[in-house]
Amino acid sequence: MPELPEVETIRRALKHGGRGAESIVGRQVLESRLLWERTLAEPTQIEFQERILGQGITDIDRRGKFLLLQLSTDTLIFHLRMSGDLNVVNENEPIASHDRLWLGLDGGLRLSFNDTRKFGRAWLVPDPHAVTANLGPEPLGEGFTAHDFHARLLAHRRQLKPLLMDQSFLAGLGNIYTDEALHLSKLHPLQISDTLNETQSGRLWSSIRQVLQEGIERQGASIDWVYKGGDFQNYFRVYQRTGEPCPECGNPIQRITVGQRGTHYCQNCQPQSS
């Protein structure tokens, strides 16, 4: 579930309440349990237990697809990868079947990291920068200008889709929102980054921001058995719509593989130019 809009939706729920739970800001960690060892990237399980007990949750931030729980002295960072989610439940609730790590909080709450496919990771570190240092700019950040984006595109000679999904180039896009942004900007997923003129890169810049903003407003997308509450999936332009009519021109949506990822686009609206 996790691209920028889904992570942002979870962040807001943890910070302000929502998704059927109350805010965890201001709560204190009283207990911790690691149920799948590899979920904890850093530090060791022993050190994790020792360090986190007693720390208070002071704020919830996001950087790209990383969720940052600011604690009294450390930062607890989660990356949800393919199937991760964070739930706040009453401590009387049974442990869910794919819970991998959970924290007992004061007030009778439990924060649990649930992750069917076990790709997700957690870090407890003194300095969050150690984990997020290699990320590119925030696409919705004020410092991310169309001008800078164009310069960054020209600095590489790469296919647009894999480049946009490279988190060191831009932080937050995944398979869904990349396909959506490319279709909205009428650019082919295989077009080479340094062939874009300023008009094209400007269109891509605003398309990326538009689809991410819409995703956040719709509280993310809910697909397959992983239900999160958002409904952006009902507004996909091309993603997983192979063979269905393009919303712009009516031609059937094509599916190809780019960088080992399913890629959806319209041959007519997104011509291969170079």
Partner DNA sequence: ACGAGCGCCTGTCGGC
Partner DNA sequence: TGCCGACAGGCGCTCG
- The verdict on whether omega for the bond into residue 2 sits within 30 degrees of 0, i.e. cis, is no
Q: How far is CA 41 from CA 23, 87, 180, 212, in A?
A: 26, 20, 32, 28
Q: Is 245 helix (H, G, I), strand (E, B) or coil?
A: strand
Candidate list 12, 19, 98, 209; residue touching DNA; CB under 7 A: 98
Is residue 128 near DNA by the rule CB under 7 A?
A: no
Sheet order of strands, 29-34 included = 29-34, 99-105, 109-115, 84-90
Is residue 118 near DNA by the rule CB under 7 A?
A: yes
Is residue 94 near DNA by the rule CB under 7 A?
A: no
d(CA 180, CA 231): 15
Catalytic-residue membership of 203: no
12-41 residues in contact with DNA (CB under 7 A) are 38
Q: Which tokens sit at 22? A: 């109350």
From 15-23, 143-151, 200-208, 254-262, span contacting DNA (CB under 7 A): 254-262
Instruction: Give rounded-to-5 percent helix, strand, coil for the chain.
Output: 30, 25, 45
**Residue 246 DSSP one-character state:** P
Is residue 146 near DNA by the rule CB under 7 A?
A: no
Catalytic-residue membership of 261: yes
Window 204-243: contact mask with DNA (x via CB under 7 A): ----------------xxxxxxx-x-x---------x---
From 25-33, 43-51, 154-162, 200-208, span contacting DNA (CB under 7 A): 154-162
Footprint on this chain of DNA (rule: CB under 7 A)? 1-3, 6, 38, 64-65, 79, 81-82, 97-98, 116-119, 156-159, 162-163, 165, 167, 174-176, 220-226, 228, 230, 240, 258-262
